[in-house]
A and B are shown apart, each in its own frame.
Chain A
Amino acid sequence: MTGRATGSAPAPEALAEAAAAAHAPLLVGSGLDRSNALALLEHARGAIVGTALKRGGRVEAPVDEARVRALAELFRAARRAR
């Protein structure tokens, strides 16, 4: 499930509604970043992340390994919370 554009997140309540209606695992398809990851991941099996992992959060920039590591850390925290 996506927000309205590349880099924009779906609303957590829309995600929850879709998760309840879906007969399959749900992924966040856009806009997940460090600020909203834990809220969004409450309703999803994971996320497809592009922009937030780029240097400066700019979609045209190269991937920034430090940003990946920071987000992966949050995902591991989410695992313990589930």
Chain B
Amino acid sequence: MSEESNARFRRTLIRVMTVQVVTLLLLWLLQKTFTPR
């Protein structure tokens, strides 16, 4: 695998993980804001 393809994979990976973390944070916020304790 070329260095360029590895770099592209790493970039995509960082974007994927960022989207997941943001989604989980939003879901947590949704639960925390609207679900009574």
Query: Are A and B associated in one complex?
Result: no
Binding site for B on A (CB under 8 A): none
